[in-house]
Amino acid sequence: MDRRHRSVAIALLATVAFMPGTALAQDDVSVSLAVQGVGEEVNNMTITVAGEMARFDIGEQTSMVWSPDWWRMIQHENRMYMEFDKAMLERMRQMMGNMRGIPGIEAETDDFDPANMTFERTGATDTVMEYEVFEVAFSDDEGHQGSMWLSEEAEIGMFEIMPKLLDRLGSIAGPMMRGRNPAGNMQRYMQYARAQGLPDGKVLRMTTEDGANFEVTGCVWGPFGADFWEAPDGYQKQTMPAFPR
């Protein structure tokens, strides 16, 4: 994955995942999003979760697949893939654990109070996919602001799919998701969930204070076949460098 796509992926995880997921009647689902950073082109991403499995596709370039026992990165342009098995993941956890206290590794913490978060319906409406959405502006006393567009008809939105992905990543990549901005702000955004006043509905679009835009563009319900989680036929497996024991 190149630097631009990696930064957009991190920004998506750090920015969108500040609301708790709600229970869905069916857990196997694939949600596509269009993500556009400030001054960047639109990036298409797809998040798929099913049981203990998760997959994150970044355009047609990269797919990342997680199970409880391994993590697979598939690079489609090069027709190759790499795998981290359970032992390698454990060594990675230990390495990241040993880095605590090093500048740039620990997440920043502050006295942010989610009770200062406010939401206000603007009266504006629009259409996202086939759903009518209404705009809710949000802000806090520190100057953070933006808008969300909610649907009362959609079955799933950003704040349902993202926690499902993070739940599955947490058991594998938890220690590796530490860091400063933007990933270091994940805890801060998660605290927004305690704020009161957000109307009922599924968030299908969000614009952040810096002008980044996130929008749900599609949804497919499972089940998904076993081949969906594998590297395509003809892709070459690359040997990973040895991790220190």
What secondary structure letter does DSSP report for 25? S
pTM of the predicted structure, to 2 decimals = 0.74
The CA distance from 232 to 119, in Å, is: 45
Residues 53-67: b if buried by 16+ CB within 10 A, e if exposed? bbbbbbeeebbbbbb
In this structure, what token pair is assigned to residue 3?
């630097």
pLDDT, tens digit, 9 for 90 and up, residues 185-231: 444 454 554 456 778 899 999 988 888 899 999 999 999 999 999 99
Which residue type is seen at 106?
A: E
Q: What percent of the chain has pLDDT over 70?
A: 65
Q: What percent of the chain has pLDDT over 90?
A: 41
The CA distance from 146 to 137, in Å, is: 6
pLDDT, tens digit, 9 for 90 and up, residues 71-117: 899 999 999 999 988 777 677 667 665 555 444 434 444 455 656 77
What secondary structure letter does DSSP report for 235? P
Confidence of residue 159 (pLDDT cuts 50, 70, 90): confident
Which residue type is seen at 225?
A: G
- pLDDT score at 21: 43
Question: What is the arithmetic mean of pLDDT over 123-127?
Answer: 98
The CA distance from 197 to 220, in Å, is: 30
**What is the number of other CB atoms lying within 10 angstroms of the CB of residue 239?**
7
